[in-house]
Amino acid sequence: MMKRAIFPGSFDPFTNGHLDIVNRGLSLFDEIIIAIGHNTTKKRHFEIELMKSKIENIFSNNNKVSVKTYNQITAHYAKENEANYLLRGLRNITDFEYEKSIASFNKNLNPDLETIFLITAPEFSNISSTIIRELHKFEADITNYIPFEL
Ligand code: ADP
């Protein structure tokens, strides 16, 4: 059976850490959908359509990766897209606590969806979109942390 995974997130912005998770995920899955969610509680710093096109550019030569935006519960969105795997990255214990409860809610919402965690590579484990947004607001250089120019 075809293994399709969804990699959901805010990706505000998409970072080298996210890229590493997708690239490593490609050895596990036949297809990965990078799904940029409209988060109702967070106001974005980088426009969702801008981020979508920047990520699409990175993977323009790779037909196993697609980029979509969505505005619904992730577990339902995965089902709609016939994705049986939900890919997430784990940086630290804080991520773990949060991801553990999300994964259990997702399992109740969609029992066919299996969450797969990849431990972040050490060189990316301190990269956070929140900090990059903060740097960008104050016009600091963020080129070392993201895989494109913004
Ligand atoms: P969300 O708002 O849903 O947490 P993010 O865009 O912050 O979305 O993160 C999406 C996924 O990528 C999450 O699983 C998160 O733990 C993971 N992630 C975030 N930063 C990194 C990083 N530096 N390296 C690897 N994975 C990361």
CATH number of the domain residue 87 falls in:
3.40.50.620
Query: Does residue 64 contact residue 98 with C-beta atoms inside 8 Å?
Result: no
Q: Is residue 146 part of a domain?
A: no
Nearest CA, atom 24, ligand 1: 17
Q: How many domains does the chain have?
A: 1
Q: What is the pTM of this model?
A: 0.96
Q: Which residues are part of the catalytic machinery?
A: 18, 42, 91, 129
Which residue's alpha carbon is at the smallest distance from atom 25 of ligand 1?
A: 17
39: closest CA among 102, 87, 94? 102
| pLDDT tens string 104-116 | 999 999 999 999 9
pLDDT in tens, 121-143: 999 999 999 999 999 999 999 99
What pLDDT, on a 0 to 100 scale, did the predictor assign at position 41?
74
Sheet holding 31-37, edge to edge: 65-70, 31-37, 4-9, 85-90, 114-119
18 ligand 1 Cβ < 6 A: yes
- 61 is a domain residue: yes
Residue 129 near ligand 1, beta carbon < 6 Å: yes
Ligand 1 atom closest to residue 88's alpha carbon, by position in its atom list: 14
Of the candidates 78, 111, 112, 117, the one whose C-alpha atom is nearest the C-alpha of residue 97 is: 117
